[in-house]
A and B are shown apart, each in its own frame.
Chain A
Amino acid sequence: MTSTATMPRTETMMLNLGPQHPSTHGVLRVLLELDGELIVKADPDIGYLHRGIEKMCEYRTYHKCMPLMNRLDYLAGEVNNFGFCLAVEKLLGVEVPKRAQYIRVMLAELTRIASHLFWLGTHGHDLGAMTPLFYAFREREKIMDLCEMVSGGRLFPLYFRIGGLAADLPKGFIEAAWDFVKTFDEKWKDYDTLLTKNEIWIERTKGVGVMTPEEALDWGWSGPMARGSGVDWDLRRDNPYSSYEDFEFVVPLGKNGDTYDRYLVRMQEMLQSNRIVRQALENLPDGPVKVDDPKVSLPPKERVYTDIAALINHFLIIQDGIRPPKGEVYQAIEAPKGEMGFYVVSDGSPHPFRLKIRGPSFVVLAALDKLSRGRLLSDIIALIGTMDIVLADVDR
């Protein structure tokens, strides 16, 4: 009598990396199908932070959309409104004065450094390196102070306006900004010594999440994600907007397309952004900060209180809203997370007919399944960290 040896029956396990998890950077839910510790399939389930921003904007005037735009990528405060204001200005056909353009570039680059610092701290923290968080946040606090100086808001500065800026720079800003610029490069070395040659860091990030340049473009990757794979593309250099062509900076590239290379790219980007801020401070031109068009910009407050025409103008712009001509535009900027695009369709009324926001985090997260198949469970934490997602940008 033969005994049939029975193979143990194996089956995969479904694990829920739930919306509440310290390492998913927000409310991201990933349904994992695991074979032991290897990932068979990873299905991101998003939408926990979906607030319907695109729908809400259809019921608001263009100015009233700006606080909603602020809440898209909340770690890079000014960049969202940078893109939105540029899109509406493109629709209106107005060009912002040079001084406002330089100040916008300065604040955008400062918030890019802030975003990368936050990413560095949390990405390191996820992979077990808890110390860089405190060092990175020390510098980020200085940037938050600068944002608070211009607009009163740290995470949600609302300093940009359609047609320029809300007001000129406050007293003390230039000195504080110079103080940051002069000390940042030295402080950067702190994070570099902690991680770049750290054996554990290299073990956990080298070879994880490799994307070839063709795959990166096929999956719509942009920004540091694509540059980590060697794609030489930066919207600030290739399709410059807001006087970026006046600034000199290097676009850092990675070679292997893995998590370690993306870390190196973002670290170098912080130094390059500091370089741009330094150039903006050195060459800051004088002049107005709002475009001189009564249908677009609010008149100065002193005139509103004394001149009836200015009062009516102010009232109409706030109550009624600006009326761009009928048409549609797409404006893309280089946000810290990648290409952030705004597709604004106007039907001639004060409300946008359709505002589609192309969030970089949304596009990058789609490739999570492809990257994590066959890898260990702990690698998915490294992948979510390297993608530098902000769920508010994913879900809108």
Chain B
Amino acid sequence: MNAAVALLQAKFPEEVVEVTEFRGDTTVTVKPERLKDICLLLRDDPETSFRYLSMIAGMDYSPESPRFGVVYNLYSHRYKNRITLKALLKDDRTPTVDSVTEVWSTANWHEREAYDLLGIRFKGHPDLRRLLMPSDWVGHPLRKDYPLKGK
């Protein structure tokens, strides 16, 4: 994990916003603009080798602003460690971030779920449509302003 932090701070010094360590987990918050390049580096560099994407979680930090974020959890089989990558998205009305389906194929469905439940758009996603909710559903249920009982 520390190798990844050192690598990111060396190669993308402007993009790293914050590094936190809590209960043994390392979380690196980065700016969302060059997220795809950061992911490619973490996957391909032999010091980190994060070839496995565990999950992508869409986040709604209401009432804070920036409101939306994406959290990636990466695992390296070579070094048997994990890292959490977080990016807070600028636009509170139409949150957009680059898709990482070209980096890890498994991102396809995770991003579709984040779009479906939170309304985060992923630029460059091959097939961005609803996954869990019916295709004609209006609204994004996991948002904090969406009522529990539905509409």
Chain A interface (Cβ < 8 Å from any Cβ of B): 46-47, 50, 52, 54-56, 59, 90-91, 93, 217-220, 231, 233, 238-239, 327-330, 332, 339, 341, 343, 345, 354, 356, 358, 362-363, 365-367, 395
Contact = CB atoms under 8 A, between A and B. Distances in A.
Instruction: Return the 10 tightest CB-CB contacts between A and B, nearest first.
Output: A220-B106, A47-B132, A356-B57, A358-B55, A366-B109, A50-B132, A327-B22, A218-B105, A238-B80, A219-B106
B77 A231 contact: yes
A55 B130 CA distance: 17
Interface string B95-109: 000000000111011
Contacts of A329: 22-23, 25
B82 to A, nearest CB: 7
A219 B105 contact: yes
A91 B75 CA distance: 20
B54 A330 contact: yes
Contacts of B24: 90
- Most chain A beta carbons < 10 A, residue from B53, B113, B131: B131
Given A59-B148, A332-B54, A356-B57, A217 B23 contact: no
B22 to A, nearest CB: 5
Given A332-B82, A343-B55, 12 more contacts: A46-B132, A50-B132, A220-B53, A238-B80, A327-B22, A328-B22, A328-B25, A330-B84, A343-B71, A356-B55, A363-B109, A365-B109
Interface string B122-134: 0000000011111
Contact of B141 (A55, A327, A362, A363): A55
A222 B73 CA distance: 14
A133 B93 CA distance: 52
Contacts of A47: 130-134
11 contacts: A50-B133, A52-B141, A91-B23, A217-B77, A328-B22, A329-B22, A341-B73, A345-B59, A356-B71, A363-B109, A395-B132
B38 interface: no
A181 to B, nearest CB: 30
Contacts of A93: 23
Interface in B75-119: 75, 77, 80, 82, 84, 104-106, 108-110, 113, 117
